[in-house]
Structure 1
Amino acid sequence: MGDFSAVLLSEWVKVKTVKSTWITLLVAFVVTAGLGAVISAVTNSQWNSMSESDRLTFDATSTSFSGVYLGQLAVIVFAVLVVGNEYSSGMIRATLAAVPQRATLLLAKTAVVLLLVLPVALVTSFVTFFLGQALLGDHNVSIGDHGVLRAVVGMALYMTLIALLSLGVGFMLRKPVLSLGLLMPFFFLISPILSAVPKVKNVARYFPDTAGSQMVHVVPSTSVPYGPLAGFFICLAWAAACLLGGYALLKRRDA
């Protein structure tokens, strides 16, 4: 079963028949769009109480995407479970017996995650944007405005790259609890805390979530020394490094 198309089909069937696949991706959509809508509505209602400097630097596009950093939680869970469920159940032994080529297996799982997450992320991004802009009232922007379409696509790419990063971590650590125990604190505790510590915040600027925030901004940020394109390549580098690390350990270890 070493033929890549056969392995890809097998992985596709395994992933799409698991109920948690659709639940986690649906949660990612609902949380991202829902929280973005709430924050957009609240921002619109409190516009008159905002300071002049906040109004001048207001980014309507990134405001509608405020829910992505919680919504990515579901994407992380989905990607970790794609590989972690097989290790937890022992099914990985049968998988590796059928597909002894480790690179083929990893590429097939990567392709399946990409084929599932990217379309969902694109739908989520566009729905979240249009819903958020509708709730921002007179303070909204149009999809045709400078940099807006790039930011909308950027949000989808960010969610997809976070999924690939999480898949790589799943291959490295194998156990879902261990993988989530690393990824969740990193994105929700470690990265935000380090970003606020003067002596290490220059390093934290290059963490994937910080780089991802640049991908969804239209108004340039003064706290980060790079723009959206560099943010994309930083996230891409993180995802590639985790996948390569996963492959290196997968190649050396047994099931």
Structure 2
Amino acid sequence: MTMVPVLLSEWIKVRTVRSTFVTLLLTFVVTVGLGAVVSAVVASTWNNQTPTERANFDATGVSFSGIALGQLALIVFAVLVVTSEYSTGMIRATLGAVPQRMTLMLAKVLTVLGLVGVVSVLTAFISFFLGQALLGSHRTSITDPGVTRAVFGMAIYMTLLALLSVGVAFMVRRPIPALAILMPFFFLISPILNAVPKVKNVAHFFPDVAGRQLYSVQGSTDVPYGPTAGFFIVLAWSLGCVVIGYLLFARRDA
């Protein structure tokens, strides 16, 4: 079977399952909304900041503060695109219609990347401009050095995070186990390990840490690489998960 009909089929599946679009909408709302709140709070408490905090202030990074929670909904979206068919048993009918597993997985990946790519670009630019408007005199400009790169870096990180989540979903095939792996990793394990001196050098190469190097102008001084290396680290995590997911998907029965 050619790719176009399979892509259309995957698009119909995503469009007709309300929960997937709700989670994608929540990604936008939470990321933009929380970023706006943090930007407003920072602007109102600027006089309370220390000279060191002001010197290290990253106006672009502040406007992207909402991704800390927004990625939660993004992960759920990507996981549901894959696992909803396993939960309902529809994957058997899908594989009956599309026995070429490479084609089927590629169609799901392209569907997720297409949708998340559009939402990520909108989220990144709206978060930036709204956040900068609320920062007032402490704002930065899209034309300042490194800012445009950081805005697009935000969109790239969100897209690669969705790709990583798709790979994990194909590995475990069920929504709860997939979320039980991804949520603690991004919200507990990575932050905790980054705070432990003896292991934080390893945690610096986790995808969320590398992602922050992508969507901030200054980046973290503790991380021994810049945005370019950060991109390749997140890309390696995402492609690695997708490859493992495909190998398991190709070997196992539905």
- Which amino acid is the alignment partner of residue 30 of structure 1? V
- Which amino acid is the alignment partner of residue 92 of structure 2? R
Q: Which residue of 2 aligns with 1:129?
A: 128
TM-score scaled to structure 2, two decimals? Answer: 0.99
Contact 2:212 2:219 in 1 (8 A): no
Q: Which residue of 1 aligns with 2:58?
A: 59
Contact 2:60 2:140 in 1 (8 A): yes
Q: CA deviation at 1:13?
A: 1.1
For the aligned residue pairs, the C-alpha RMSD in angstroms reads: 0.7
- Which amino acid is the alignment partner of residue 223 of structure 1? D
Question: How does 1:163-182 map onto structure 2 within 5 Å?
Answer: 163-182=162-181
- Which amino acid is the alignment partner of residue 247 of structure 1? Y
What is the identity percentage for the equivalent residue pairs of Structure 1 and Structure 2? 65
Q: Which residue of 1 aligns with 2:31?
A: 32
Contact 2:117 2:159 in 1 (8 A): yes
Question: How does 1:13-162 map onto structure 2 within 5 Å?
Answer: 13-162=12-161
- The secondary structure found in structure 2 opposite 1:7 is helix
- Which amino acid is the alignment partner of residue 189 of structure 2? I
The worse-fitting range, judged by mean Cα deviation, of 17-26 and 86-95 is 17-26
Contact 2:14 2:21 in 1 (8 A): no
- The secondary structure found in structure 1 opposite 2:99 is coil
Q: Whole-Å Cα distance in 2 between the matches of residues 134 and 123 of structure 1?
A: 16
Unaligned runs of 5+ in 1: none
Q: Which residue of 2 aligns with 1:203?
A: 202
* Count of paired positions: 254
Q: Whole-Å Cα distance in 2 between the matches of residues 27 and 86 of structure 1?
A: 22
Q: Which residue of 2 aligns with 1:250?
A: 249
Q: Which residue of 2 aligns with 1:212?
A: 211
Q: CA deviation at 1:21?
A: 2.0
Q: Whole-Å Cα distance in 2 between the matches of residues 178 and 210 of structure 1?
A: 23
Does residue 221 of structure 2 align to residue 222 of structure 1? yes
Encode CA deviations 1:58-106: one digit per residue, 9 max, x unaligned: 0000000001121011110000000110000000001111111111111
- Which amino acid is the alignment partner of residue 17 of structure 1? T
Q: CA deviation at 1:221?
A: 2.1
The worse-fitting range, judged by mean Cα deviation, of 219-228 and 235-244 is 219-228
- Which amino acid is the alignment partner of residue 114 of structure 1? L
- Which amino acid is the alignment partner of residue 74 of structure 1? A
Q: CA deviation at 1:112?
A: 0.1
Q: Which residue of 2 aligns with 1:231?
A: 230
Q: CA deviation at 1:10?
A: 0.8
- The secondary structure found in structure 2 opposite 1:199 is coil
Contact 2:35 2:65 in 1 (8 A): yes
- Which amino acid is the alignment partner of residue 198 of structure 2? K
Q: Whole-Å Cα distance in 2 between the matches of residues 210 and 220 of structure 1?
A: 10
Contact 2:23 2:74 in 1 (8 A): yes
Contact 2:124 2:152 in 1 (8 A): yes
- The secondary structure found in structure 1 opposite 2:107 is helix
Unaligned runs of 5+ in 2: none
Q: Whole-Å Cα distance in 2 between the matches of residues 47 and 88 of structure 1?
A: 49
Q: CA deviation at 1:198?
A: 1.1
- The secondary structure found in structure 2 opposite 1:136 is helix
Q: CA deviation at 1:220?
A: 3.5
Give every structure 1 segment of 4 or more consecutive aligned residues whose post-TM-superposition deviation is greater than 6 Å.
none
Encode CA deviations 1:110-144: one digit per residue, 9 max, x unaligned: 00001100000100110000010001010000111
Q: Whole-Å Cα distance in 2 between the matches of residues 5 and 26 of structure 1?
A: 26
- The secondary structure found in structure 2 opposite 1:198 is coil
Q: Whole-Å Cα distance in 2 between the matches of residues 50 and 17 of structure 1?
A: 48
- Which amino acid is the alignment partner of residue 36 of structure 2? A
